Structure 1
Amino acid sequence: MALIDLFLSRAVKRGRLTLLRPDKPAKTFGTADPDFPDVTLRFADRGVAGRIVRNPATAAGELYMDGRMIVENGEIMDLVRLLTANDKWEKGQNNLEPSWLVRSVGSVKHRVDRYNMERRSKRNVAHHYDLSARLYDLFLDADRQYSCAYYTDPDHSLDQAQQDKLAHIAAKLLIRPGMRVLDIGCGWGGLALYLHEKLGCDVVGVTLSEEQIKIARERAAAKGVADHVTFELIDYRRVEGQFDRIVSVGMFEHVGPPQYRTFLRKCRDLLTPDGVMLLHTIGRLGGPGITDDYTAKYIFPGGYNPALSEIIRANEGLRMFPTDVEVLRLHYALTLKQWYARTVASKAAIVALYDERFFRMWTFYLAGAAMAFENGGLCNYQVQFSRSRTELPITRDYMFEGEQALRGVRSGAPHPRV
């Protein structure tokens, strides 16, 4: 039996995968199951099989990008779902892991790449976030929230779920009018503008993306709030001043484990004695690990999703109170599926912006990420810290009440200040 046959016979038990390859008859793996996709996969040449056996996820992504691995029945999301649904994280089988040699080399490379000093950080950010603004318009919500949405109902639209995410975060910060807030990794400015509009605070947003800050400043000027919501192109390590609240959404993934303590110490030093911080990040279930080669090479160079233990350990000794931890399990899977659907619907526009290879790269990234949250070992953590023992209420009721009030504002009901 060929190695690829052995690999697929282990990897696909439920659902069916039919494999077409040069000079061999078609072969089907698995059994029909209404809850699993039925996929036909074609290898364009004889070299495809060996690469996939050695390093399944990375090789599959590159071969799909290059048009050497073709999904003929179904689409790339179906293929990734079929494979990951047969290898759920909680089962502990790890059928899709690369060979031990590839893992060993990757571990060494990861230790080198994760040192995100300032110059490398800016270059890594530019690789992803300085892509065409048009690309992000095509698949994000109207507010350009490029992070996990919050689904109070799985059937909600992407735009509603992203606005509900802002309310969820804002309620945890317990912001009062006139407070000064720092948004680390502010993206295109949506959260900063939301916090000022809804809660009457002044916000400073910082980013390393030149494309993002240009749009964020334009949005603040268009709303006439540029004197209350400002944006700076600066590394978090260079920020000065004192802030009542700090929020960071979707930025910690780019910090790198060796810098975690530096990041949290800097946040503590920037907070007032009664200051509160909320850290929202993609995280890994279980213990520390490494970033897969495909993501590190093509999507987020220098990126790493932390284990919860790594976040908490970095805070030890800093004398900030970890006041709340929330684990969002499936919200990002729902978000990514909507991003994927919008990307597929915008194929012609994306190919015109870049090319077919870029489109395949982007859809493989979104499909893989969605299934990593649905079946794999990723989640989102929201970790709240406070410098004060008494600034926050001793129960979580204020979060729910504040969130409901903020959603009431969005739907037209009067808004009592949180």
Structure 2
Amino acid sequence: MAPVLLDRAFARFITAGRLEIHYPDGDRRVHVGRDGPQAAMRIADGATVRALLLNPALKVGEAYMAGTLQPVGCTLYDLLHVLMLNVMASAPAGERVLAPLRHMGRRWLHYNTRRRARRNVAHHYDLDSRLYRHFLDEDMQYSCGYFPTGTETLAQAQAAKKHHLAAKLHLVRPGLGVLDVGCGWGGMALTLARDYGAVVTGITLSHEQLLVARRRAREAGLEHRVRFELMDYRAVAPRQYDRIISIGMFEHVGVAHYPTFFAAMREALRPDGVMVLHSIGRVEGPGVTNPWIARHIFPGGYSPAVSEAVAAVEKAGLWLTDCEIWRLHYARTIAHWRSRFASQRVPVARLYGERFCRMFEFYLVVSELAFRVQGHLNFQLQLTRDIGAVPLARDYMLGRHAPAAPSAMAGPWESPRYAAALRI
């Protein structure tokens, strides 16, 4: 009975593209909607049939990890393209029941206390750093690159991202104190110190990232300008900074803690300071995290609607002085990561095994498709405490129109790295 019910569900679900399904008993069914992508899949056993019927958003990924759901004559990307495109039009029957329940419990699911936040970060970011070196760029930027023309390499796009965000910080002179909230492996902090003369404090909850970042600072000879600390954003006070940058960290804060986050950032920002926040978001308004992503990749994670972030900014008494939306930049970034991961699959399997590789492949594919067909985006908010903290016009954010370099040091717009990032 379960295969019959699942096939009926697929018949209603597929309204775009073509999906061919090979059932455990050898039966083959084809469902066709309007013009769109095509794919086929094989379901290995009855347990997987029942799981897909009851909880597809979680079980598709888990079945792929277990090898009981496999693409047939196509790639995993092809298969998930069909499935995720149709989710946007009509959620599967099981999801119509579970999704409202997840939404009701999302404040608890994202209730990231200090202890819980440390545990969540360790789950993903305390993996062996060799894993990330296998698919990230040399600077280990694990966030959206910037592709102004679409032809940039991954390294060029990540360099362009860093300098684009640095321009929004309005670093008018060397020696400004910068707080990097969620500093990762230190790439942005080192760039701000080396190319802009900033004095940077990077904070992270990942022990593995902390070790790598500190080693990179030593190797670059920048220990006098950059320090990295194992610290929660709620523990920054009473220190204050001229500038605050946060890239790809806000997704780990949790809806219930947005007021706390922005209140902490306001307190850490000097009265004439500038903050720039870069985050994944969603176009359709408040939602929930995919349950497979929440269980296997980013526990406690959530990509907010811009409206949710802005509402918390307003309550914190901060000025939203600029907002920029990036649409397909992250899709392009992840496409690079997928290709690089595939080319390094053997050494990754030696580190963590075949099941992990399948999990990570699934993660990268669903993440890319979330930006291509499911309304995910990146947003950047520039925030200040004072109405006059930044110029009236945003021309200063455009690297080609940067002001003359301060006499104390060569401006970043004169550095070879910056010129290369803008050579588009």
TM-score, L = length of structure 1: 0.92
Superposed displacement of residue 87, structure 1: 4.7
- Whether contact under 8 Å (1:20, 1:42) holds in the other structure is yes
Match of 1:60, as an amino acid? V
- What is the identity, as a one-letter code, of the residue corresponding to 1:85? L
- Matched residue type, 2:361: T
SS of the equivalent of 1:287 reads coil
**Given that residues 139 and 339 in structure 1 are in contact (C-alpha distance below 8 angstroms), is that contact kept between their aligned partners in structure 2?**
yes
1:139 aligns with 2:145: no
Instruction: Look up the match of 1:29.
Output: 31
- Superposed, 1:328-407 pairs within 5 Å as 328-401=326-399
Q: Residue 167 of structure 1: which of 163, 167, 171 is its match?
A: 163
Shift of 1:25: 2.7
Mapped to 1, the partners of 2:76 and 2:420 lie a distance apart of 45
Q: 2:145 aligns with which of 139, 142, 149?
A: 149
Matched-pair contact (CA < 8 Å) for 1:168–1:403: no
Q: How many angstroms does 1:13 deviate by?
A: 4.1
Amino acid at match of 1:179: L
Give the direction of change, closer, same or farther, for the CA distance of 1:85–1:406 in structure 2 (3 Å limit): farther
> What secondary structure, in the 3-state scheme, does the structure 1 residue paired with 2:276 have?
strand
Change (3 A) 1:124 1:97: farther
Alignment of 1:8-407 (within 5 A): 8-30=10-32, 36-88=36-88, 93-96=89-92, 98-175=94-171, 176-240=173-237, 241-401=239-399
CA RMSD of aligned residues (A): 2.2
Give the equivalent residue in structure 1 for 2:406: none
How far did residue 343 of structure 1 move? 1.4
Q: What is the distance in 2 between the residues matched to 1:170 and 1:132?
A: 29
Q: 1:282 to 1:413 in 2, by over 3 A?
A: closer
Cα distance change of structure 1 residues 216 and 304 upon mapping to structure 2, 3 Å threshold: same
User: Could you list the runs of 5+ residues in structure 1 that have no partner in the other structure?
Assistant: none
Distance 1:2 1:101 in 2: 20
* 1:156 Cα deviation after fit: 1.5
Distance 1:97 1:269 in 2: 46
- In 2, Cα distance between equivalents of 1:104 and 1:317: 27
Counterpart residue type for residue 65 of structure 1: M
Does the 8 Å contact 1:296/1:302 carry over to 2? yes
Q: Decide whether the 8 Å contact of 1:38 with 1:73 is kept in 2.
A: no
The structure-2 alpha-carbon separation of the partners of 1:249 and 1:96, relative to structure 1 and needing over 3 Å to count, comes to farther
Separation in 1 of the partners of 2:113 and 2:51?
33
Q: Is the 8 A contact 2:199 2:226 kept in 1?
A: yes
In structure 2, the partner of 1:409 is 415
Sort the Cα spacing of 1:103 and 1:95 in 2 relative to 1 into closer, same or farther, 3 A. closer
Go from structure 1 to structure 2 and tell me whether the alpha carbon gap of 1:394 and 1:100 turns closer, same or farther (over 3 Å shift): same
Query: Match for 1:257: what amino acid?
Result: V
Alignment partners' CA distance in 1, 2:190 and 2:155: 16
CA apart distance, 1:94: 3.5
User: Partner amino acid for 2:164?
Assistant: H
4+ aligned runs moved over 6 Å, structure 1: none
Rounded Cα–Cα distance in structure 2 between residues aligned with 1:32 and 1:103: 26
Q: Deviations over 1:40-60 (max 9, x none)?
A: 211101232232232222110
Aligned length: 409
Question: Which amino acid in the other structure matches residue 387 of structure 1?
Answer: R
Distance in 2 (CA, whole Å) between partners of 1:298 and 1:312 is 29
Q: Unmatched 5+ residue regions in structure 2? A: 403-410
Q: Secondary structure at the match of 1:245?
A: strand
Partners of 2:399 and 2:345 lie apart in 1 by: 42
